Structure 1
Amino acid sequence: MTSNTTSLSERIADGIVAMIEAAGLEPGDALASSRELAKRFEVTTPTIREALRRLEATDVIRFRHGSGTYVSGGVNRRLLVNPHVSESRSESVLELLDARIVLEPPVAAAAAAQRSEDDLQALTLSADNALKPQYADERPELHFHVALAGASGNLLLRETVEALLQVRARDQIEIRHRYTDRDRDHADHLRIVEAVRDGDPDAAATLTRDHLVAIRDAIATTLGPEQAR
């Protein structure tokens, strides 16, 4: 019985995604109510809710208390996030930064070579996220480094950076809580934007690496010598 129910909810979840795509819904658009979806797919409301919970786990939809169900960013993402991540640890925070130091500088170089005016506008707007306070697990709608990867013109690179930050969301939140030099963070972002706008791949790569290394070094000083290695 459980197997059949699970299989049905999976099929319904796929059907909801297909419905979202067919309707051209984008992140932020409202989804039909559970009752309306149940009628559409000719199943019970609990089955719809189970399917929606599956989609919520991969950020395809989001529930807003008292408001309804909305399409979320995961609907266009091809790299899925494991919703069952463990708690953030000091070593995992540094591990994330080390991975980003390897990955993101060449992505920034690609952005400088390929950026469009729309990319530059998104990048400039997202740069100001560095100055905004963060509460609980709140994350900006568009992360600066995701926008930077998006400017490369390669959708898979954008999704790779976005998926990495989503997979390690707790570590990313911990980084933001530990690294509190908002003015420097913002200034670094603006310098990266200028390098991308100038079409200078070498400068974009160097500035991105220096930015991430500075964050890693600042966080490492707050940890014990064994953890900071």
Structure 2
Amino acid sequence: MPPLSSITPPPTSLSRTDSLSGRLADAILDLIRTDGLTTGDAIPSARTLASRFEVTTPTIREALRQLEATGAVELRHGSGTYVGPTIDRAVMVNPHRAPLTKESVLELIGARELIEPDTAAAAALARTDDQLRRLELASGNALNPPGDRPVAYHFHIELAAATGNRLMRELIESLILVRGRQQRAIRRLYDERERDHREHLEILAAVHDRDPAQARQLTRDHLAHIREAISSADLQADAAAADGDR
């Protein structure tokens, strides 16, 4: 990366949000993009950035913490600050946790029911062979007991990715991640692992066959089965476990 003094941020860099730390966070993102940095690349130190923007180092650190909360940067103790994995996402995950209630879990399922059936239909029409392979690898995640190390691919995220629309993938991923506690509660309370896996395979087959109507209906039925199980479950008994599995 060239010296920070040689980079001129766009005139709007410090005018997008009301708080100083928020405006600085936007300006740091502008610097990263202007210099073409990508995930894993180092960015200037807080001291260097403070000098560049003529603010205090603690103020820069607050801006960096805001970016770290969304995954746009990573602060590595004793090493420095690096571009994070979400730098190119159009949809960012909210770092604040939503309360865990049965209503919030059903709300998540309801949102997914509105979005994912049509997403599956689009995937059936647009999927590539590589996306189909990733979906096949992801189909097995249903068999993992709650609390196990997650597999590399998430079936519903890969289903969205198979539409070929990056924003749709990011939308589903962000929806699942921002309500992570609710998603983990679903994994615990809907414990029909074999049925979950079988339904994933059925959706996969419809996508493979490029059958959008079948993919839509199977995804709708799959999410409805999950909603029915959660509706009759005792979430209160699960709340302590959910907090312990953050």
Q: TM-score by structure 2 length?
A: 0.73
Deviations, residues 94-152 of structure 1 (Å, cap 9, x unaligned): 1211221121101100000011123223222222322334439x766643212111111
Q: 1:88 aligns with which of 93, 100, 104?
A: 100
Residues 70 and 39 from structure 1, CA distance in 2 versus in 1: closer, same or farther, beyond 3 angstroms?
closer
1:25 match? 38
Deviations, residues 42-82 of structure 1 (Å, cap 9, x unaligned): 26543332122111222323456787655444322223333
2:165 counterpart of 1:159 = no
Residues 46 and 131 from structure 1, CA distance in 2 versus in 1: closer, same or farther, beyond 3 angstroms?
farther
2:130 counterpart of 1:121 = no
2:87 counterpart of 1:78 = no
Distance 2:81 2:193 in 1: 33
Q: Is the 8 A contact 1:112 1:199 kept in 2?
A: yes
Q: 2:147 aligns with which of 135, 141, 164?
A: 135
Q: Which one-letter code corresponds to 2:195 in the other structure?
A: R
Residues 209 and 139 from structure 1, CA distance in 2 versus in 1: closer, same or farther, beyond 3 angstroms?
same
2:236 counterpart of 1:221 = no
Give the gaps of 5 or more residues in structure 2: 1-17, 236-246
Q: Is the 8 A contact 1:109 1:200 kept in 2?
A: yes
Give the gaps of 5 or more residues in structure 1: 1-5, 225-229
Distance 1:140 1:12 in 2: 36
Give the 5 Å matches for 1:178-197: 178-197=189-208
Q: Is the 8 A contact 2:135 2:158 kept in 1?
A: yes
Question: Aligned-residue CA RMSD in angstroms?
Answer: 3.0
2:52 counterpart of 1:39 = no
Q: TM-score by structure 1 length?
A: 0.77
Distance 2:129 2:60 in 1: 41
- Could you tell me the percent identity over the aligned residues? 48
